Amino acid sequence: MAIIKPFKGVRPPQDLVEQVASRPYDVLNSAEAREEAKGNEKSLYHIIKPEIDFPVGTDEHDECVYQKAAENFQMFQDKGWLVQDDKENYYVYAQTMNGKTQYGLVVGAYVPDYMNGVIKKHELTRRDKEEDRMKHVRVNNANIEPVFFAYPDNATLDTIIAHYTAGKPVYDFIAPGDGFGHTFWIIDKQEDIDAITHEFAKMPALYIADGHHRSAAAALVGAEKAKQNPNHSGDEEYNYFMAVCFQASQLTVLDYNRVVKDLNGLTSEQFLDALRENFEVEDKGEAIYKPQHLHEFSLYLDGHWFALNAKQGTYDDHDPIGVLDVDISASPTCVQISASTS
């Protein structure tokens, strides 16, 4: 069963949300964050990318940078740019991208669920990136950015979400940088809160869609705090971390693209011949071609698109990891063929 709980969100007033809103910390570098936050003291980048408040070239992992994040987070609250709700709620967050909208429930996810495998992972994490986000969680004593989960389709949750999204949202704006739409509602009726908690308790698992390092960091810090608290009961806020849970059928799987810088000494034809050892290779011409089904990849080479279909034996349909296309593309055979990639 998946354990979740409502929480008292810390969020901007309606009239400030567009000034506070930012893109996720890991989709842009320090210089880009500095440029996007220019002239805007209310930008969340001052908390999630606090190196922008230091001279150019300052190490983003310096302890003073993490401390600045905590100072800025407190300042945002002191100035009323971020305000905590009076009661525990769930929330609905809708994201519109390329004309498609997906609706997520913002919840407190349970740290032990991450530790015991109820929250499923599909990526390995790097310890240095975990530690970076752990420091950020520690100094702020908060999860500033959510992780994205997927959950199995659920008619009861659909009905609750539809009820709230039929009403006027608290926030509704289009971000100028990427054109994504962001809409937000508060689920505050106790019977709906209880129903959501109950429906999640029926689910055998939740799945991380995006945010493996943030999930790991939040869970590890929560576990740290539990060990450090001699009176730990399991009900403390540190036992939970912020997640937006999207219905699996609504998720859009984006392209996973990689650029091969050179062919490792092979000619184009030799490269394609090497691929034929593990893939059925078909020239699709000059028009853009995207994979049509599982275990198919597309390749752009010398002005032509090629369909690459993995041959039987190069993957394991009975292995939850080995069946993934990302695992096939990272196999030793593929790495040997395209030894120089980025």
pLDDT at residue 337 above 50?
A: no
Contacts of 140 (CB under 8 A, 6+ apart): 47, 69, 70, 73
In our burial notation (b when 16+ CB lie closer than 10 A, e otherwise), range 175-194 reads eeeeeeebbbbbbbeeebbe
26 contacts 12 by C-beta, under 8 angstroms: no
Token couple for 321: 């990891």
Q: What is the mean pLDDT of the chain?
A: 91
pTM equals 0.83
In tens, the pLDDT along 110-163 reads 999 999 999 998 787 888 888 999 999 999 999 999 999 999 999 999 999 999
Question: Domain spans of the chain?
Answer: 4-250, 268-337
Tell me: pLDDT of 339 over 50.
no
